[in-house]
């Protein structure tokens, strides 16, 4: 169930703020924001993806080198809207949100990411995250 606190952006330093997966989904579904998945192509292929999200890798597989085209690809994907950035656990998307802000975009980090934090067994996908919260996603 959505509580008022998870349907409000939280202030953050260096970018517009942090949002819950639920709020990011709400903004994305109503066209208020563009959802940008910054995970590598390998992560999206193996773990799953959000239908309709733009994919602009922050780092590229293999080796996880920085994507030299990130700035241009992100600006093209934003389409003049605010962007909500999704990664695996909500860590890389903070760095991407800061970069997006430097580019002049209104950028938000999605807390918990796609898979959430690792549980006591080191497994993701059980503790928070887009998937665990029952939001739309698919797997190839």
Residue 1 confidence (pLDDT) above 60: no
Q: Which of the 8 DSSP states describes residue 122? A: S
37, exposed or middle or buried, with CB in 10 Å at 0-12, 13-18, 19+?
Answer: buried
Domains parsed from the chain with CATH numbers: 15-110 (3.40.250.10)
pTM summary value: 0.91
Residues 79-113 pLDDT 10s: 999 999 999 998 899 999 999 999 999 999 999 99
* Cα radius of gyration (the chain): 14
């Amino acid at each position: 169930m959505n509580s008022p606190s998870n349907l409000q952006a939280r202030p953050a330093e260096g970018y517009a703020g942090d949002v819950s997966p639920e709020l990011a989904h709400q903004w994305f579904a109503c066209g208020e924001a563009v959802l940008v998945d910054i995970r590598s192509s390998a992560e999206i292929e193996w773990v799953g993806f959000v239908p309709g999200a733009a994919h602009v890798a922050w780092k590229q597989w293999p080796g996880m080198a920085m994507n030299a085209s990130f700035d241009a690809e992100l600006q093209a994907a934003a389409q003049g809207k605010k962007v909500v950035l999704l990664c695996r656990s909500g860590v890389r998307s903070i760095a991407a949100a800061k970069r997006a802000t430097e580019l002049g975009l209104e950028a938000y980090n999605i807390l918990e990411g796609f898979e959430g934090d690792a549980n006591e067994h080191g497994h993701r996908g059980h503790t928070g995250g887009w998937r665990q919260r029952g939001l739309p996603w698919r797997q190839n």
